[in-house]
Amino acid sequence: MTQQVSVGNVLYPVDDVDSAVKFYESVLSLPTKFQDGSRFAALDGGKVTVAIAGREEDVTDGRVAASFKVSDVASALAWMHRSG
């Protein structure tokens, strides 16, 4: 079976969620899906969600990270274990 893969979201850690949301809304015209105060926001990037994480929600150690949607999680995990 061929695995169907797409990018689900891209997570950007920021110091100021409000300022980042204002930037993405005004400069890139991305509508906000939801915002949880200074902790987190999700913006609609079309087929990809642009996720903005404040310091308390940053799980990337300050790095940009992408998540992927796969059609078969078990197969993807098995492949990663064999390849890694």
Domain residue ranges of the chain, discontinuous segments joined by +: 5-83
DSSP reduced 3-state for 40: strand
Has residue 1 got a pLDDT over 70?
no
User: What is the pTM assigned to this prediction?
Assistant: 0.79
- In CATH terms, the fold of domain 5-83 is 2,3-Dihydroxybiphenyl 1,2-Dioxygenase; domain 1 (3.10.180)
- Specify whether the CB–CB gap between 20 and 51 falls below 8 A: no
Higher pLDDT, 29 or 5: 29
Nearest in space to 51 (alpha carbons), one of 12, 7, 8, 6: 12
> Mean pLDDT over all residues of the chain?
91
State residue 84's pLDDT score. Answer: 64
Nearest in space to 9 (alpha carbons), one of 59, 48, 57: 48
Rounded mean pLDDT, 45-52: 94
What count of Cα atoms within 13 Å lies in the side-chain half-sphere of residue 65?
11
State residue 50's pLDDT score. Answer: 96
State residue 4's pLDDT score. Answer: 81
